[in-house]
Amino acid sequence: MIRKLFCPDLLETGPLSDTLMAVRDGMVNFFVLKAPGGLVCIDTGWRPAVVRRSFAALALNLRDVTAVLLTHLHWDHARCVSLFAHAELYVSAREAPPFFMSKPLGTYPLKRMSGDQELLVGGLHVRLVETPGHTPGSVAYVIDDRLLFTGDTLRLKHGKVRPDLAGSVSNGVALKHSLHKLAGLTGIECLLTAHSGLSKDTKSAFACWAQAKAALPEGGAGL
């Protein structure tokens, strides 16, 4: 009932394509990509038992995850990092260590990134896009120039991009700049969020942010 009220478009655990799967852990989605070099996760969920059952249902092995791309370090996105013992963890250098880790964050094989970097992960071309606002170190990931994973940087409402709920935003001005930034990306075929499903009509989804950005003077805050 609560999920239907607050996250009506949350994706159920299952395949979205031959190489992309969604995992639902309560009121959050994370995603698994089948890459040439193993499995790549975008975030991890927060309940180990649920994540284990979901991987079994998808006929996937936790040991095959070679990389985890963390959008930020809130508990519902990163609490299950310990399940992926053979994976390298990628996160923004601006993101503060969380309080919920079972061991210090520095003991994990962590790769901290800054700036909008491009790298090869498991044979996938990954572009990190800094999107501060929800947290200081929030990031989005563009995979193979066509899939955009936004974490909690935005939500979809009636197919349109909206900022995340005000109570979960650390810096509203920064968040609006981040949304304008994402609206300027080209070639995106699918936008995937953590709490509000996905959109394959990204031009329409970002339309108001792209138009507002075009009308702004340099440095304007916009919507």
> What CATH number did the domain enclosing 201 receive?
3.60.15.10
User: What is the Cα–Cα distance from 20 to 32, expressed in whole angstroms?
Assistant: 6
User: What is the Cα–Cα distance from 95 to 131, expressed in whole angstroms?
Assistant: 11
Residue 177 lies in a domain: yes
Question: What pLDDT is recorded for position 223?
Answer: 39
Residue 221 lies in a domain: no
pLDDT in tens, 132-181: 999 999 999 999 999 999 999 999 999 999 987 766 778 889 999 999 99
Which DSSP helix (H) or strand (E) runs through 112?
strand 110-113
Residue 222 lies in a domain: no
Residue 161 lies in a domain: yes
Domain count, the chain: 1
CB 78 within 8 A of CB 97: no
Which DSSP helix (H) or strand (E) runs through 1?
none
- Its pTM stands at 0.90
Residue 98 lies in a domain: yes
Residue 220 lies in a domain: no
CB 49 within 8 A of CB 39: no
Domain coverage including residue 136: 2-215
- Written as one letter, the residue type at 158 is H
Cross-strand partners of 160: 157
